Each structure stands twice: as structure tokens, then as C-alpha cells.
Structure 1
Amino acid sequence: MGERRGHIVLWGLYGLAWCLAPWLLTASYAQVLASQIGIAILSCLAYNLLLGQGGMLSFGHAIYGGAGAYAVIDALQTLQAHPPTGAAATWIVAALPLWGALAGAGLAAGLGALCARHSGTAFGMITLGLGELVAAVAQMAPQVFGGEAGRSANRVLNASAWHFGPSSHLLMLVAGYTLAGTAALWALTRTPFGLLLGAVRDEPERLAFLGHSPAWVRWQALVLSGAVSGLAGGLAALLFERVSPDVFSGARSAALLLFVFVGGSAHFVGPMWGAVWMVLSLTALASLTPAWPLYLGLVFLWMVWRAPQGWAGLLSDAHAALRTGWVPGQRLRSMGRGLGQIGRGLAVAGAVVWAVEALYRRQFGA
């Protein structure tokens, strides 16, 4: 009962934060950053539907978000040629991310038929090949995908109506979709399909013996994940009003894998932590130091070596330890050891940062 009450409080705070964000964040930069975090949360949760819940390691998942982004940009360009009038423009733009979700689901339905029959390494290699194939096609068809310049469109279709021109208005839209997507994916883990997905990850042979097709379950998971990824891609297209073939790149797929793992793929909130780290790393950290890719690589290596359960797993272990009811003397000793480990870790991290920054200044003058 206490754990259930804790979940209700945490989800209530999460929903309240998104509801208040458009009103509390007044700076345009903060509003855009919050919108990016919401989009990243949807992308990482969609990826973790495969990795954490279904045990499917995908190396080309960014293509579904890219499909959603291009679908929305194409729809915006079409609507600009024939703009709707009145309040209809507002509702049409608000519904465009659903068109992106449909595009992502459609691409996943087609490509998923090629890889859902396999698992493990074979699944990963097929997704890698499909991802590179789509990325290559996008580069070779500039008349469709816009080449290096990409394609752009204006999300404001009718200035006389309530529109999404201000970043605060778009943040309201992103917050609504993020809350709805998070709630839907959380509810999915409590359904029979969520249990089947866990069985595909842990015991596919036993699941097949019970009469369920693991390939069919994987395909359904791919379609659902592609839909949520396409939704996130559509929101990103509305936010930046531009999309280029880079959205299909392997680097985008690798970033999803890296930050979902760092956040903790075994926990539902892990990808959400990873999404926050991803946005802050690619924006704030990248503006502070040119060595940010090196730091990300070091963090990833450390997590694989010392904490494969991710940040969410570390927090879960710490919470479980606090509830075990230690003897006072043992608690003090454990706290002392924990503080000592934190201190040593901070000292090592500080030394690494100092050495890296000194080397960069010496070699590149940055």
C-alpha cells in the first residue's frame, strides 16, 4: 500500500511539473529546452519498449522518428500551399504529430516483418543494416529529403487564429503529448501484452510452447515503438521547423542506446532519466567544452563496468538499502563507506576533467 501511494505521489508530481512548465518557464530558451526534454522522453521510452521490456537491441531505431519528422514537414508544406482558415489551423497543427506517429508505425510495420522473426545478435544486425539502408536512401534522394539543407516549413498556418508560433504554446502541446505518451506506455507494461513482451525477452521458447508466437509479439512491439518514435519525431519537426537526412543517421540511434542504458533500461523511469541527461549533454555540456563526446564515452564505459543497472538502478538499490532497517552501528559504517566512495569518485572525476581540459587547451587552444 505504501509503495502504491509513493507511485501515485511521484506520477502526480511528474504530471504537475509538465502542467506548470509552460507557465513557470518564461524564458524562450528554457521553454525550448523543456520541449526537447519532453520529445527525448518519448523517444527514449519508445526505444526502451524494445530494449528493456522486450530484450531487442536495435541499432537503427532513429529511422522511425525520422519518418515521423518528414511526414509532419511534408504535411506542413502542403498545408502552407492551401492554408486552412480560422481555428481549424490550430487543431490541424496540434494533430500533426499523430500523422508522424502513423508514419513511424507504418515504416516499423514494413521493416519489422524483416527482423521480428529473429532475436539477439541477428535482430541487432538486421536493424543496423536497415538503419544504414534508410540513411543511405535519404542521402541519395535530395529531391525527396532535401539533401544537406533538408526541408523546412512554418508551423504557423494562420496568424489570425491561436497558433503555435510562441515557444510557450508549443511547450503546451509537447507537454500534453508527453504526459499522454508516458501514461500510455506505463499502462502498457501492466497489460497482458506487456507480460508477453517480458516473456519474449526472458523465455521465448517457453512462450512459443504455450501457443504464442514470439515473432508476432516482437512485430507488435516494433509497431508500437515506431508509432511513439514517429510521434516524437513529429513534435521535433514542429519545434525546429526543419528536418534533414541526419535524423536517420546511426549516431541518432547510438545516442538512444547510450542514454537509455545510462538511465537504466530495467526500470520504466530509467529512459526518462536518460532523456534528461541526453538533452543536457547535447546542449549545455556541448556549449561548455569541446571534449563533451569524450566525457560521454567515459561515463558510458563507467556505467557498463561499475553500474550496468543505470542511474535508476542505483537509486532503486539505495532506496531498498534504506528500507532494510540496518542496525545503527552498521548504518553509520555503511554511510561512512558510501560517503568515502563518493568522495573518491568525485576526486577521480575531477582529476580526469582537469587532465582532459588541460590537454585540449594545449593541443587545440580550446
Structure 2
Amino acid sequence: MTRLQPARWVRWAPWLALAALLGLPPLVSAWLSPAGVPQGWLLACLAQAATMIVFALSYNLLLGETGLLSFGHAAPAGLGALAAAHVFNHYAIPLPLLPLAGGVAGAAVGAVIALVAARRAGTAFAMITLGLGELVAAAAWALPDWFGGEAGVAIDRASGPTLSMVATAAPWTFGPDRQAYWVIAAWCLVASATIRVLSRAPFVRLANAVRDNPVRAASLGASPARVRTAMIVLAASFAGVAGTLTLINVELAAAESVGMMRSAAVLIATVTGGTASFFGPVLGALVWVAFSVGVASVSRAWMLYVGLFFIVVVLAAPDGLAGLVARQRAALARHGWRRCSAYWALAALAAACGALALVLAVQRAYALRFGDDAAGAGLAMLSTRAAWGLAAAIVALMVVALWMARRARHAVRVLDQQERLDQLDRRKEAT
């Protein structure tokens, strides 16, 4: 039996981590549960994460691979989910095949978008997609028979054909949450692997050329408009798959699913994770779900935290969290663990102190505004002396955070200077 090379292990590590993230928590939860059933809240969180992963990867086909900034990517996702809901309610289609219907509908929407926007790029493309997205959002309320009005279009997962996984086992009706979740998780892995294969295909390399220099690509015989059209249709088809996975999870295709809020969510997730790396959008999707589910469950200020975190990432790591991780791995390879640990400790302490000061200030403000409805409502009932003490603690934490950040930058400069000296020494030895 041959051992895999370390490079191959590194290549497969993200995929193994993704499979473990989607598969191990439900299995462990079911093993710990007396009834042998995973916790419902856990399945809901993981289903949202799986859906957002596919959605972010589909968006990266536009932004990362083709350089097209879209403000209307929710339109093919929402319309694909609505079409899949109508198909499921009128035809006997198995639930595991429903994302195919959503993908086809999303591709059709993408073809319509491409007819209008494929000849443009940059700001013009962004504004066209913004207008188209708002047009679809307005039509959602003007066409209640198709969009379902305020109630949306609901489905019953158990009303479709059942599926027998093993001849001796009970058939799957997909009514229980755990059965629907395994469908979502399987589609997340299949869609992610398919997008990965497509991202390494020669045609996507042509899309990279159009992204970097459309004039030169056109001079070599490639039509930028046709390349953009194909990528828009591909991205829209996977967005339709993601929208259908949301439909399977919540059994509802709502009119809000085509709104600007969802387009902004996928944009933030993709840029936060990083568009240059394939798993960057995956990381950004997990961060978005952590904010929208975890932080939102304890604080109504979660959107404020999302905005601040997004600003910090764009300023400190323009290439996203995946790019930041890649740079730290490179620094570790160059300088070693002992030299990098001091910088990492200072940066972590600075981030922790700054985050704690920010949370205390925001929760104090929200507690004063919303009273008992806000998390940390006790902060609104502080005495005058305690309030001044809290303000002093916030200022002290910010001062410590700034001092730690300055020391961390100094440590980085020392490492860079030491690397230059080592390079000079190696050159002298070579001569």
C-alpha cells in the first residue's frame, strides 16, 4: 500500500474538512441523543451553511473567475427555487432530483441576464445587474400568482415519491429534517466538486484571460461577450441549485429570496473569504452563517458586527481570509514557528481587546435603546459610577489593542528585515 505524498494530503485536506463538517456533527449528535436523532437546530445551521457554500461558490464564478461584480445574484437563486417549488407541487419529481430543476431554471434566468449585461463589464455590469435584481424584486409583489405574495410558495417534502436506500430498510419520505439534510449535504459536496472541476477547465482559464485583459483576449480570437455569457449562465445555474437547497431546508420559496439583501449577503461572504482561492468563498460562507445564525441569536446588532468585520477584512486583508491564511503559512515556512508565534500572539491579543471593547460599547448602546429586548440588557441599568467604569474599561481596552497592534507591526518589520539580512548572507556565501 503506497503512502500519499504530503502535497496530496494538503490538496485533499480542505475537502476532508468540508466532508467532516457536514457529516460528523449530525452523526455525533445522533449518537449522543437517547432517541438516536440529531438535534434540529444543528441540522438547520449546517443546512444553511451547506446552502451558502454552494451560493458563494457560484458567485465566485462571476466575481473571482470572470471579474464580474453582480448586485443581483439572488435573482437566479430565488427564481430557480420558485420554479422548483412549482415543479414539485405539480409533478411527481423525487426530492433529491429537485435541485436539477432549480439549476435549469437558474440557467434560464442567467441567459436572460446575459442577453442584457454580457457585453458590459466593471461598473456598467454591476449597475445593470442591480437594476435587474430590483426589477425582479418588484415583480415578486406584482405577480402574486407566481411568487405567492407575502406567504410565498410552500412545498411538502413528504408529498413526493419515496426512496428506498436499502431493500430491507424503511423508505425515505424526506419529511424528517435529518433525511432532508442528507440530501442538502450530498448536493453541497457534489456541486462544490463540480464547480472545482469547472474552475480548472480550459474555458474558465479563458474567462480568467477575459477578466484580466479583454482586449488582448479578443485579439486572440475569443469573444469576451460570449465568454461572459457562458460564465453568467453557469453561475446562475449553480445559484438556482443553492436556492433549491434552501427550499428543501425550509419548505418555502419566499418573495424575499430575490431581494437585494440576499445578493449583498453572498457578496459579503465571497469577498470576506477571498476570491483568489477556491475555498475562500467556502470560508466566507461559514463566517456569514456564524454571524447570521450564531451572533444573531444573542444580539440584534449582528448586522452591525457583520459590517464592521467586513470593513476590517477589506482593509487588513484585501485578498480575504483565505489570502491571509496563505500569507501566514508562507511566513511560517520562511521564519519558523518560534519567530512567528510572537507576532501571532500580539495580533491575537490586539484583535481580542479591540473586539471586546467594540462589543461592550455596542451592547451598551443597544441596551440603552431597546431596554430589556436587547442582549446584555443589564448594561442599561448600570449606576453612574458603573457606567463611567465601563467607559474607562472600553477606553483602556482600545488603548491596549492599539499598543498591541503597533507591537505586532513592529514584529513584522523585524521579521522582514531579518529575512533580507539572511538573503544577503546567502548571496555572500554563494559568491
TM-score (norm 1): 0.92
Q: Which residue of 2 aligns with 1:127?
A: 129
Q: Which residue of 1 aligns with 2:69?
A: 57
Deviation at 1:16, TM superposition (A): 4.7
The one of the two structures with greater contact order (alpha-carbon pairs below 8 A, sep at least 6) is 1
Which residue, out of 150, 153, 158, partners 2:152? 150
Deviation at 1:237, TM superposition (A): 0.9
Q: What is the 5 A alignment of 1:195-234?
A: 195-234=205-244
Which residue, out of 165, 170, 176, partners 1:166? 176
What is the distance in 2 between the residues matched to 1:8 and 1:145? 41
1:24 and 2:28 equivalent?
A: yes
Q: Which residue of 1 aligns with 2:343?
A: 337
1:284 and 2:294 equivalent?
A: yes
Deviates more, 1:306-315 or 1:6-15: 6-15
Q: Which residue of 1 aligns with 2:369?
A: 363
Change beyond 3 A, Cα 1:333–1:24:
closer
Change beyond 3 A, Cα 1:320–1:146:
same
Q: Which residue of 2 aligns with 1:175?
A: 185
Q: Which residue of 2 aligns with 1:37?
A: 49
Q: Which residue of 2 aligns with 1:7?
A: 11
Question: Would you say the 8 A contact 1:72–1:238 is kept in 2?
Answer: no
Q: Which residue of 1 aligns with 2:257?
A: 247
What is the distance in 1 between the residues matched to 2:215 and 2:225? 11
Change beyond 3 A, Cα 1:284–1:320:
same
One-letter amino acid of the counterpart of residue 237, structure 1: L
Q: What is the 5 A alignment of 1:64-143?
A: 64-79=76-91, 84=92, 92-143=94-145
Deviation at 1:278, TM superposition (A): 1.6
One-letter amino acid of the counterpart of residue 283, structure 2: W
Deviates more, 1:337-346 or 1:218-227: 337-346
Deviation at 1:307, TM superposition (A): 1.3
Q: C-alpha root-mean-square deviation of aligned residues, in Å?
A: 1.8
Deviation at 1:218, TM superposition (A): 0.7
Deviation at 1:300, TM superposition (A): 1.0
Identity of aligned residues (%): 38
Q: What is the 5 A alignment of 1:318-329?
A: 318-324=328-334, 326=335
What is the distance in 2 between the residues matched to 1:6 and 1:333? 23
Which residue, out of 222, 247, 263, partners 2:273? 263
Question: Would you say the 8 A contact 1:22–1:169 is kept in 2?
Answer: no
Change beyond 3 A, Cα 1:76–1:118:
same
- 3-state SS in 2 of match to 1:162: coil
1:188 and 2:198 equivalent?
A: yes
What is the distance in 1 between the residues matched to 2:356 and 2:338? 27
Question: Would you say the 8 A contact 1:18–1:179 is kept in 2?
Answer: no
What is the distance in 2 between the residues matched to 1:72 and 1:57? 26
Deviation at 1:158, TM superposition (A): 5.4
Change beyond 3 A, Cα 1:278–1:334:
closer
Question: Would you say the 8 A contact 2:95–2:161 is kept in 1?
Answer: no
One-letter amino acid of the counterpart of residue 258, structure 1: I
Deviation at 1:283, TM superposition (A): 1.4
Change beyond 3 A, Cα 1:170–1:65:
same
1:315 and 2:325 equivalent?
A: yes
Q: Which residue of 1 aligns with 2:410?
A: none
**Structure 1: gaps spanning 5 or more residues:** none
**Structure 2: gaps spanning 5 or more residues:** 30-37, 163-170, 375-431
What is the distance in 1 between the residues matched to 2:224 and 2:161? 50
- 3-state SS in 2 of match to 1:148: coil
What is the distance in 2 between the residues matched to 1:141 and 1:34? 33
Question: Would you say the 8 A contact 2:155–2:252 is kept in 1?
Answer: yes
- 3-state SS in 2 of match to 1:149: coil
- 3-state SS in 2 of match to 1:52: helix
Please give the per-residue CA displacement for 1:235-291, whole angstroms capped at 9, x wherever unaligned.
Answer: 111211112210110111011111111111111111101111122211121111011
Please give the per-residue CA displacement for 1:322-342, whole angstroms capped at 9, x wherever unaligned.
Answer: 112x2x7xx645432332122
One-letter amino acid of the counterpart of residue 125, structure 2: F
What is the distance in 1 between the residues matched to 2:277 and 2:307? 22
Question: Would you say the 8 A contact 1:112–1:223 is kept in 2?
Answer: yes
Max Rg structure:
2
Deviates more, 1:339-348 or 1:1-10: 1-10
Deviation at 1:162, TM superposition (A): 2.1
What is the distance in 1 between the residues matched to 2:76 and 2:227? 18
Which residue, out of 306, 313, 319, partners 2:316? 306
Deviates more, 1:20-29 or 1:187-196: 20-29
Please give the per-residue CA displacement for 1:124-179, whole angstroms capped at 9, x wherever unaligned.
Answer: 11111111111111111112211112121211115875211111111111111111
TM-score (norm 2): 0.78
